[in-house]
Amino acid sequence: MILKEYTVTSTDGIHARPATKLVKLAREYRSVISLKKGDKQVRLNSMLNVLTAGIKGGDTITIIVEGEDEEAASAAIDQFLAEELKNH
């Protein structure tokens, strides 16, 4: 299992467009990928799951990756968050 913390630097947080891309990316891997904000943890298998977490700019989230391809999945999520959730 891999756990990594991120601070969302985008002032928009995670809204519909990046949530959709994040779920699409997560579905490319066999590992179970979850996102945790505070006490709330959701699987990255549905855009609605991600949106209900209510992630805003400045929030700290934890990505949890567990499964046979967790290293590759974690690296892809790292890259996605670095590119997609920065301030524009």
Residue of 4, 15, 30, 40 with catalytic role: 15
In angstroms, the CA 10 to CA 16 distance is 13
Residue 88 known to be catalytic: no
In angstroms, the CA 52 to CA 30 distance is 23
Residues labelled catalytic: 15
